[in-house]
A = this chain, B = another copy of it.
Amino acid sequence: MNYLEAKDKFIQTWGSLGTLWGINKAMAQIHALLLISPEPLSMEDIMEQLQISRGNTSMNLRQLIDWGIVYKTSIAGERKEFFSSEKDVNELAKQIARERSRREIQPTLKVLKEVSNIEDDGSAKTKEFIKQTKSLHELAETADSIMNRIVNQESNWLTKTFIKLLK
């Protein structure tokens, strides 16, 4: 496999993986492209390499910036804007974990807390409902705590965490 084939395969894979994580294909592909590019890229560069429209590129770049994993970069003497991604994959993982907690886990916790607080009328179905939603709340809270704990650690956390677990 040569560079171009490998690059293409990587962008494709990252793109379809994105879909499974609530990130659309173009967004994931733009991210993949920036991640392996040694220099910042312009909107034109991205449009051309991925064969996507200007509007699509603009909107998805904005989302990536919102997620905190892509930055606008100025290049001296150039009028247009350039973009580059967070290159440290640990930092990247942290940022993604943070955003997923904020966007998914927190709102879910809120609902679980709310619905598990209904009055227990003693019926089997109410009892089961309260029991299960409380368990889920607990699970989600623990999972979120672990994630936050990991996220707020110094770099190289993942390896360290893993070593801890092995002990």
- A interface with B by C-beta (< 8 Å): 1-3, 6-7, 9-10, 13, 17, 19-22, 35-38, 87, 89-90, 93, 104, 108, 111-112, 114-115, 117-119, 121, 123-129, 132-133, 135-136, 138-139, 142-143, 145-146, 149-150, 158-159, 161-162, 164-166
A20-B115 in contact given A93-B139, A126-B3 (Cβ < 8 Å): no
A142-B128 in contact given A111-B13, A118-B3 (Cβ < 8 Å): no
Residues of chain B with a CB closer than 8 A to A125's CB: 3, 36-38
Report the copy number of this chain in the oligomer: 2
Residues of chain B with a CB closer than 8 A to A166's CB: 149
A162-B142 in contact given A1-B115, A13-B108 (Cβ < 8 Å): yes
B114 with A1: CB separation less than 8 A? yes
A90-B3 in contact given A125-B38, A129-B36 (Cβ < 8 Å): no
CA A115 to CA B125, docked complex, whole Å: 52
CA A26 to CA B125, docked complex, whole Å: 21
A161 touches which of B9, B13, B108, B165 (Cβ 8 Å): B165
